[in-house]
Structure 1
Amino acid sequence: MCGIAGWVSYDADLTERQATIDAMTATMALRGPDASGTWVERHVALGHRRLAVIDLDGGVQPMEFATPNGPVVLIYTGEAYNFIELRKELQARGHRFRTSSDTEVVLHGYLEWGESVTEHLNGMYAFAIWDARDQKLVLIRDRLGVKPLFYYPTGDGVLFGSEPKAILANPLARKAVDINGIRSAVLAAGGQSIWKGMHEVEPGTVVTVKSSGIHTRTYWKLRTAPHTDDQKSTVERIRELLDDTVNRQLISDVRQCVLLSGGLDSSAIASLASRKLTAKGDRVRTFSVDFVDHVDRFRPDAFRTTPDAPFVKDMVDMIGPVHQQVVLSAENLSDPAVRRAVITARDTPSGLGESDISMYLLFQAIRGESTVALSGEAADENFGGYQWFHNNIREIPIFPWMAALLSAQAGNPALMPFTAEALAAMKLETYLGDEYRTAVAAVDHLDNASRIERQMRVMFHMHLTRFLRMLLDRKDRLSMAAGLEVRVPFCDHRLVEYVYNTPWKLKSFDGREKSLLRHAVKDLLPPSVLNRKKSGYPTMMHDSRFSNALLLEAKEVLAEPHNPLFTLFNRKWVQSVVETDSSKIAHGEKLLLDKMIDMYYWIDIYSPELSLS
């Protein structure tokens, strides 16, 4: 999977700055535990950390191709799932290969097609190419934004990296966070860097850096088109795409597995993978996460209707994988060292606290057995799995995943933990309203679309372009911090394009969430899983053992009254919560307390310059 970092300076001699590019590259060590390499010439320095997945011996980077007019050098992270077909096409065009890696295929693809290589790639990727022929840097990110890539313009060039920490390791980058970054961190909005002056390479975008400046070009976006297939043909096409996508993503030279929650999405991937591997005489490996006494202590809420374990068991009984259940305790989840590791992995306090911690621990356990994992991420965004696709929240002119939070805050001032100064500066409702209108304006509609079809197209567009980005960033950061590559079959752009243009009346034809997916995989799953109502990622927030540990940690934070944290969080609010009987603390208050503790560790780790302006 790997991590990349680099520096282009048209006015400086970077051959004298080897130590700096080494430091930038070293921050990516967890993303690439298998090897490290740098390539430096006068105006450019490139660094790469490798997680070896395909062609373990041959795919060493940075990878250079000499031309009569100067070298072309690639540093690459991700996977091109169609690299075998592309290699054959490039060989037919006269290219010769020294390795069997997908990295070399991408490099030769650039030599053949230039920046238009993006049109030929199927996969998840973020990479940088220094093209000495034109003295330019090319940064490219995959269509859905599965793999992260950031850049930081300087006076004479740019810094870039897979994660902000790589850029922040360069003394030219300030660890400054203004009100825009604070607002992004508080809302966990995703889609932008919280660090002032730093930008994400947008999904489906090429960023070109020359001495004359920086230019961006969008090579892919969701486009609206008529859907002409009937219900039967649509279901069949979705199944064909899933079959092909899972088959492509099972290509690996290291041990792989599937994340299994017992829900529709992950179970479908696990079953498809099992069929593919069984045909090759192999067995699929699966992993699930659970908590000590979770089934006995489980309490349903608006987002989690059933515990995972019984449904995981039904899937295991049906497909017969090599299965491992990772069981976590309240002590595991409340370990300060683990939380620090999670915040460091994410570079931001905009995580999901306890849920992030359990996911990170799950990935650590998996990494002991596998290097690659397939996940069911993005099925809800593609097929309409969230409850707000099917209720009146979709009528509210605000991002639906934010609507419940703001509603709770408006109805109960106790759930507003921020200082008056921070709230006044953030202007959350105004900001969210503006962002929502911007999201709506970005959507194209068919001329004859009904009101409900237009409304639902907006819903799907904002989920695929905004909400999903947050989830993908979370999964990438937490998995790569454990040296685990997570692949997401539901992010295959062919599937996304096809389902996006399927009318809502087809997406919901049986009156349930994810109608099309449910029918496309109905032969793969036991009835219990096929008919299971969506249940979110499991949590221990209702467990008194974790809640008590959370309160103890919050009391320790209160012992530092002059901490910069309290320019954002209302110390009196924190005090009132920790002094409340733990059994009477609202679930929302616990979540906000969890977020506050994340912010505390982030400030301690990064020592950011915080500004409310």
Structure 2
Amino acid sequence: MCGITGWIAYRRNLTDHTRVLDAMTETMSCRGPDASGVWSARHAALGHRRLAVIDLPGGAQPMSVETDDGPVVMVYSGEAYNFTELRDELRRRGHRFTTDSDTEVVLHGYLEWGEALAEHLNGMYAFAIWDARTDRLVMIRDRMGIKPFYYYETEDGVLFGSEPKAILANPLCAPVVGLDGLREMFSFAKTPGHAIWSGMRELRPGHLAVVDASGLRERCYWSLEVGEHTDDRRTTVAHVRELLEDIIARQLVADVPRCTLLSGGLDSSAMTALAAQQLGAVGETVRSFAVDFPDQDKHFQAVDVSPTQDTPYVHAVAEHVRCEHRDIILDGAALSDPQVRRAAVAARDVPIGLGDRDNSLYLLFKAVREQSTVALSGESADEVFGGYPWFHDERRTADTFPWLAGSQALFSPASLVQRDLAQALDLPAYVQDHYSTAVAQTPLKDGETGLEKRMRQVCHLHLTRMVQSLLDRKDRMSMAVGLEVRVPFCDHRLVQYVFNTPWAMKTFDGREKSILRAATRDVLPQSVADRKKSGYPGTFDPAYLSAIQSQAADLAADDHAAMQLCDRELVRSLATAPQDAITPRDRGTLERALDIAAWFDLRQPVLNLG
């Protein structure tokens, strides 16, 4: 896992701009704390920060291969979980390797297959290859968009990076945010390909882009496809189990300490149990980590997506599979620390997050990194198997993104924006337009109607929209502390197979995630196998709310740039309201105001509201 960046320019000599490339590369130091490298030629400059996970001494980057017609140079972030098989195949085709790294395998794969390399990879990756033989850059992102990749077209080429901050370090990219950027920021309806910074784009999942002197062309090499599901229920459950065992075996491969993130829910528990089985077979013990809060049992409040506390279930799994477990306890003072909020916002680059859940995730990953370099996460199982409450109630039929529907909406997009700006943004129209586009992009079987058609649409919305926000959050928070988090449930083979499984089979026991539950029940405590979906926990510590109210009161009284966006009177009223009058949505409004203030301090965005 690493951070990559680069600059392609066909009408200037980039060997004269090494300081700029160094600055771009340095912004990625948190993603790659172990090593730094740069490479430059007349029209191409590449930068890399490395987090060493496989072949610690041999995977230095940028990595190049000299050919008779010029060098082929790559900067690569991620893991190719099938690199062993690919290396064997490439050896049979005559390739020779000098390291044991997956990076070298991917580079030689490009030499063998060109752009078609992407179709051979199983993993999470974002990489760029400068091919001096043709003077072109090839940029490729993994199928599900697990690893981030941004680019910015210039007059004579392109800038790119793992994160926007790398691109913004180049003076050619001004930190401008226009109305469309704000719409994307406040809508909670992440649109593939969009970035909030003017002129910047995100390379879409399952896409590659080629840059040459004539410009940039992006194309799709993979997307979810419809197909006939011919397996019966028993065969489907068995195949899901088989896939999970193969996926987890591949994702446990590392030359550094690894662990699992254990919440006590079905997803992370099943993953941890299967990992424990596989490591136990070779005499190892799986290590696991969970987040918790002081006096959570005293303050806990059940909400739609988190109806039960995690800790009893976490401990049940830890005891059942005999893993080496540690709870990371985070109190209100730690979660409300302005420096922690600043670090979380700096990691995400976007100031509209999940409040204390972002801060706690950052602190959790920071604590895990002290003992492990690689962690497996249960992220995305809800999107794959249909785990959220709104998959199963009236919200699934709403004419909008289901997570934005009804009184229990996960987000309230326009709650914080000042009135005049809200009118200019017209967020309801923006969300509706993008929802309509997203629904229209859902692949359907001929003659598919009724509930089956609607649930395919709902599943597709989650797998192409919602999952992107969560994967981006996971990646940014983990890489901010140099932790590689792998997501087994995003293996494209599993995602594609389950996508085509009929909805009736996905809910055959009348509950959410029926197939996953049936496929893993034998390795779980009964209490966990039967547990209702409960999302990543938040704190209910009164001290946390008191702290953010105080901070928000100071913000509302200040002439801060954040007030260009925030409704000052709303922030002031919520900051001084009695705690028992503050709803979860109100608390989210306060948190987002503080996030926006931190974002202005960090990025100093220039707003273009014309």
Q: TM-score, normalized by length of structure 2?
A: 0.98
Indicate if the aligned counterparts of 1:207 and 1:216 stay in contact, CA closer than 8 A.
yes
Helix, strand or coil at the partner of 1:71? strand
- CA RMSD of the aligned region, Å? 1.4
- Give the Cα separation in 2 of the matches to 1:409 and 1:107: 42
Indicate if the aligned counterparts of 2:318 and 2:325 stay in contact, CA closer than 8 A.
yes
Instruction: Name which of 570, 575, 583 aligns with 2:572.
Output: 575
The aligned residue for residue 320 of structure 1 is 322
The aligned residue for residue 595 of structure 1 is 592
Indicate if the aligned counterparts of 1:544 and 1:583 stay in contact, CA closer than 8 A.
no
The aligned residue for residue 425 of structure 1 is 424
Extract unaligned runs of 5+ from structure 2.
none
The aligned residue for residue 503 of structure 2 is 504
The aligned residue for residue 201 of structure 2 is 199
The aligned residue for residue 546 of structure 1 is 544
- Give the Cα separation in 1 of the matches to 2:409 and 2:65: 56
- Give the Cα separation in 1 of the matches to 2:146 and 2:478: 12
| Equivalent residue letter for 1:302 | D
Q: For the structure 1 residues 513 and 281, does the alpha-carbon distance in structure 2 shift closer, same or farther, using more than 3 Å as the test?
A: same
- Pairs within 5 Å for 1:184-223: 184-190=184-190, 191=192, 192-223=194-225
Deviation at residue 416 of structure 1 after TM alignment:
3.1
Helix, strand or coil at the partner of 1:523? helix
- Give the Cα separation in 2 of the matches to 1:378 and 1:139: 25
- Pairs within 5 Å for 1:32-51: 32-51=32-51
2:462 paired with 1:463: yes
- Give the Cα separation in 1 of the matches to 2:88 and 2:47: 29
- Give the Cα separation in 1 of the matches to 2:597 and 2:406: 25
- Give the Cα separation in 2 of the matches to 1:597 and 1:34: 32
Q: TM-score, normalized by length of structure 1?
A: 0.98
Deviation at residue 299 of structure 1 after TM alignment:
1.7
1:373-430 CA-to-partner distances (Å, cap 9, x unmatched) read 00001100010000000001111110011124797999xx9x8332111111111111
Deviation at residue 303 of structure 1 after TM alignment:
1.8
1:442-462 CA-to-partner distances (Å, cap 9, x unmatched) read 012111323111100000001
Indicate if the aligned counterparts of 1:409 and 1:416 stay in contact, CA closer than 8 A.
no
Helix, strand or coil at the partner of 2:247? helix
The aligned residue for residue 557 of structure 2 is 559
Indicate if the aligned counterparts of 1:71 and 1:131 stay in contact, CA closer than 8 A.
yes
The aligned residue for residue 311 of structure 2 is 309
- Give the Cα separation in 2 of the matches to 1:51 and 1:469: 23
Deviation at residue 518 of structure 1 after TM alignment:
0.4
The aligned residue for residue 481 of structure 1 is 480
- Give the Cα separation in 1 of the matches to 2:389 and 2:589: 22
Helix, strand or coil at the partner of 1:588? helix
| Equivalent residue letter for 2:314 | V
| More deviation, 296-305/502-511 | 296-305
Instruction: Name which of 353, 356, 364 aligns with 2:355.
Output: 353
1:255-286 CA-to-partner distances (Å, cap 9, x unmatched) read 00000000000000000100000001100000
Indicate if the aligned counterparts of 2:34 and 2:51 stay in contact, CA closer than 8 A.
yes
Q: For the structure 1 residues 334 and 74, does the alpha-carbon distance in structure 2 shift closer, same or farther, using more than 3 Å as the test?
A: same
Indicate if the aligned counterparts of 2:404 and 2:411 stay in contact, CA closer than 8 A.
no
- Give the Cα separation in 2 of the matches to 1:90 and 1:198: 36
- Give the Cα separation in 2 of the matches to 1:408 and 1:455: 20
Indicate if the aligned counterparts of 2:403 and 2:409 stay in contact, CA closer than 8 A.
no
- Give the Cα separation in 1 of the matches to 2:445 and 2:41: 51
- Give the Cα separation in 2 of the matches to 1:409 and 1:96: 52
Deviation at residue 186 of structure 1 after TM alignment:
1.5
1:520-555 CA-to-partner distances (Å, cap 9, x unmatched) read 001010000000001111111x32111101101101
1:549-568 CA-to-partner distances (Å, cap 9, x unmatched) read 110110111221x3232222
| Equivalent residue letter for 2:64 | E
2:87 paired with 1:90: no
Indicate if the aligned counterparts of 1:184 and 1:350 stay in contact, CA closer than 8 A.
no
- Give the Cα separation in 2 of the matches to 1:212 and 1:43: 14
The aligned residue for residue 446 of structure 2 is 447
2:532 paired with 1:530: no
Q: Percent identity?
A: 53
- Give the Cα separation in 2 of the matches to 1:408 and 1:282: 40
| Equivalent residue letter for 2:130 | W
2:228 paired with 1:230: no
The aligned residue for residue 338 of structure 2 is 336
| More deviation, 562-571/273-282 | 562-571
Extract unaligned runs of 5+ from structure 1.
none
- Give the Cα separation in 2 of the matches to 1:194 and 1:408: 21
The aligned residue for residue 177 of structure 1 is 177
- Give the Cα separation in 1 of the matches to 2:232 and 2:88: 35
